[in-house]
Amino acid sequence: MGSGQKPFKGRQFTAAVILWAVRWSLPFPISYRNLEHMLADRGVSVDHTTLYRWIQAQAPELDKRLRPLLRMTTGSWRVDETYIKVKGRWVYLYRTVDGHGQTIDFLLSAKRDGASAHRFFRKALKQAHTVNPRTLTVDKNAAYPSATTAMKTDGELWRFAKLRQIKSLNNIVEQDHRRIKRLVRPGLGFKSFHTTRRPIAGHEIMAMVRKGQIAAIPADDMSSQASFITILFGVAA
C-alpha cells in the first residue's frame, strides 16, 4: 500500500472520486473544465480549480507508488529533450526510452546544459527498473559528451557505454514526446516550475502503465488499471 501515508486525509470528497478524476486526467488530453463536466454527469459537483489541486497532490503520489513496480528496461537508451512553456518561458523535459519504446525516465530542467544532462542520467541510473546502458543515442547537443565523459571518469557510467550522436536513430523517443506534449496542452497553464513538475510525473507514469510496463496491469486495460490503482491506494473499488 505504498508508504503507509494517507494521501486523501482531510479531503471533502471520497478517495474513490478523487482517484477516478486522477485516473482520467493523467492518461488522456482532458482539460480540467471538461473533467468538471464529466464528474457532474456522474452526480459529483466539483470545481475545475479543485481538480487542479487534486492532480497537484496525487500525480506525484501515483508516480511514487507505481515506480517500484515497473518492468526492467533495456540497455539501449534513446535520449532527447522537448520543450514546455512555464509562465511564458521555455523549460526542458529530458526523456529517455529504450529500444522497445519503454520509458526509462524523465527530468524537468530549467536549463539545457552539461549539468542538467548529468543530473538526468544520474537520476535514471538510480531507478530500480533501469540498467547501466550499453548505448546512449542522442542528438548533436554538446552537453551529452561532456556529461557521459565525466560520469565514466567517476565510475557512474559503464566505461564501455557507447555514445551515438545520430539524430535519425532517435525517432522512437521523438515520437514518444508527442504523447506527453498532447497531454500537457489542455491544462490550465503552468505558472511555476514546481507546479509543472507534478502533473508531468503523473502523465509519464500513466503513460508507462498504458505501455504495459507494469506486469500486473495489461496495457490499455482501463478496468484492470482502475482496480489495481484503487488497491494500491488502499481504497475500496
| 8 A C-beta contact, residue 80 and residue 137 | no
Please tell me the number of Cα atoms within 13 Å of 237 on its side-chain side: 9
Beta bridge mates, 136: 77, 163
State the cell numbers at 101: 519504446
125-150 tens-digit pLDDT: 999 999 999 999 999 889 999 999 99
d(CA 67, CA 64) in angstroms, rounded, equals: 6
**What pLDDT, on a 0 to 100 scale, did the predictor assign at position 2?**
41
**What pLDDT, on a 0 to 100 scale, did the predictor assign at position 184?**
85
| 8 A C-beta contact, residue 36 and residue 48 | yes
Cβ neighbourhood burial of 160 (10 Å; 0-12, 13-18, 19+): exposed
Sheet holding 162-165, edge to edge: 103-109, 89-98, 76-86, 135-138, 162-165
| 8 A C-beta contact, residue 133 and residue 104 | no
**What pLDDT, on a 0 to 100 scale, did the predictor assign at position 45?**
95
Please name which of 136, 134, 130 lies closest in space to residue 213, comparing C-alpha atoms.
130
d(CA 181, CA 186) in angstroms, rounded, equals: 10
Q: How far is CA 204 from the centre of its chain?
A: 2
State the cell numbers at 234: 488502499
Torsion of CA 192, 200, 67, 138, to 10 degrees: -100
d(CA 233, CA 223) in angstroms, rounded, equals: 16
State the cell numbers at 203: 502523465
pLDDT of the chain, 237 residues: tens digit per residue: 444 456 776 567 889 999 999 999 999 999 999 999 999 998 999 999 999 999 999 999 999 999 999 999 999 999 999 999 898 899 999 999 999 999 999 999 999 999 999 999 999 999 999 999 999 999 988 999 999 999 999 999 999 999 999 878 888 999 999 888 898 887 657 889 999 999 999 999 999 999 999 998 988 888 999 999 999 998 865
Parallel, antiparallel or unpaired: strands 135-138 and 162-165: parallel
d(CA 51, CA 121) in angstroms, rounded, equals: 33
